């Protein structure tokens, strides 16, 4: 489906579809590796079912923001996960099943797809774990965008949005610490990146501290509603003794073959 959905208040389960208005042919790319087994760094506080519910709530919040944008030409969920088709139907967006092995490759493949089949003149990468992002922030990124626009996390470490015109005009280097490498990559391509810092984009959820921060600010979102209904918000606010995943594994005698969670090198 190529139509976009205009969303009533955030957190609503109903979508009212409207025709896309478009802005210079920029299409949003939302990589999504699925909810099952995701966000393992939250395992000390959330069981697998809770993590799956959180991931689905967050990606729906991001889709709410994207379909509420006045300036996007279209939206594509980049995913091979079966649930992606359900989300696409729910929000009136498209799905592109990439064949990449990492996040950067998935974004490149999706960029090629929308340029070739949808005439996109640019793309906007947005991860699925920034539940506080708003339609106004999406439009702020697009307003004034020319070639490369980067939106970092609150610590200027990761890249939580990247607009690129034309698609794939510079090399993507997603690895969890990609903001400064992406600045350098754009400059190597002869492009001076525009940097925009926005509070909703600033906070992605990978750690328990980040989950606690989102829970305190997520009123009126699907994520906030889920965290309250599930009791997770109260639990993480009350307890401060959760061990990091690697420490928990070490203390229980489980040793990981790698010091890095798989999410650090894969899609969000």
Which residue spans within 56-158 are E strands per DSSP? 74-78, 94-96, 122-125, 148-152
CATH topology of domain 16-202: Spore Coat Polysaccharide Biosynthesis Protein SpsA; Chain A (3.90.550)
Nearest to 133 by CA among 151, 107, 158, 114: 151
Helical axes 135-142 vs 48-68, angle rounded to 10°: 60
> Which sequence spans correspond to the domains of the chain?
16-202
For the cut 80, the answer to whether the pLDDT of residue 257 exceeds it is: no
Contact 189, 169 (CB under 8 A): yes
pLDDT for position 21? 42
Helical axes 222-230 vs 208-217, angle rounded to 10°: 110
Confidence of residue 111 (pLDDT cuts 50, 70, 90): very high
What is the arithmetic mean of pLDDT over 98-104?
A: 97
For the cut 90, the answer to whether the pLDDT of residue 148 exceeds it is: yes
CA–chain centroid gap for 253, Å, is: 33
Q: For residue 209, what are the contacts with CB-CB under 8 A and spacing of at least 6?
A: none
Least confident stretch, 11-25, 69-83, 145-159, 206-220: 11-25
Confidence of residue 14 (pLDDT cuts 50, 70, 90): very low
Q: How far apart are CA 163 and CA 126, in angstroms?
A: 9
Exposure pattern of 167-195 as b/e (b: 16+ CB <10 Å)?
A: bbbbebbbbbebbeebbebbeeeebebbe
Contact 44, 265 (CB under 8 A): no
Q: How far apart are CA 209 and CA 205, in angstroms?
A: 9
Q: Is the dihedral of CA 126, 76, 214, 55 positive or negative?
A: negative
Q: How far apart are CA 27 and CA 16, in angstroms?
A: 20
Contact 113, 76 (CB under 8 A): yes
For the cut 80, the answer to whether the pLDDT of residue 267 exceeds it is: no
Digit-coded pLDDT (tens) for 17-56: 433 444 459 999 999 999 999 999 999 999 999 999 999 9
pLDDT for position 256? 30
Digit-coded pLDDT (tens) for 114-142: 999 999 999 999 999 999 999 999 999 99
Strands 159-164 and 122-125: antiparallel
Q: For residue 33, what are the contacts with CB-CB under 8 A and spacing of at least 6?
A: 79, 81, 266, 267, 268
Q: How far apart are CA 144 and CA 27, in angstroms?
A: 16
Query: What are the beta bridge partners of residue 17?
Result: 5
């Amino acid at each position: 489906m190529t139509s976009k959905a205009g969303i009533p208040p955030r957190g609503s389960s109903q979508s009212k579809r409207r025709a896309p208005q478009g802005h210079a042919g920029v299409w949003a790319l939302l990589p999504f590796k699925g909810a099952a087994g995701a966000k393992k760094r939250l395992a000390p506080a959330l069981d697998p079912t809770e993590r799956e519910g959180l991931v689905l709530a967050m990606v729906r919040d991001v889709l709410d923001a994207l379909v509420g944008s006045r300036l996007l030409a279209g939206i594509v969920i980049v995913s091979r996960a079966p649930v992606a088709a359900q989300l696409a139907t729910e929000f009136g967006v498209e799905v592109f099943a990439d064949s990449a092995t990492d996040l950067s490759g998935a974004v490149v493949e999706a960029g090629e797809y929308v340029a070739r089949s949808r005439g996109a003149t640019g793309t906007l990468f947005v991860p699925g774990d920034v539940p506080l992002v708003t339609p106004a922030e999406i439009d702020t990124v697009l307003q004034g965008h020319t070639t490369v626009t980067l939106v970092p996390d609150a610590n200027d470490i990761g890249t939580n949005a990247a607009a690129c015109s034309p698609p794939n005009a510079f090399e993507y280097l997603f690895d969890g610490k990609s903001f400064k490498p992406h600045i350098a990559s754009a400059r190597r391509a002869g492009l001076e990146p525009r940097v925009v810092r926005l509070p909703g984009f600033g906070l992605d959820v990978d750690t328990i501290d980040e989950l606690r921060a989102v829970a305190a600010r997520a009123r009126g979102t699907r994520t906030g509603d889920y965290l309250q209904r599930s009791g997770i918000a109260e639990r993480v606010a009350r307890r401060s003794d959760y061990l990091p995943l690697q420490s928990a594994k070490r203390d229980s005698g489980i040793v990981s073959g790698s010091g890095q969670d798989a999410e650090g090198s894969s899609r969000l």
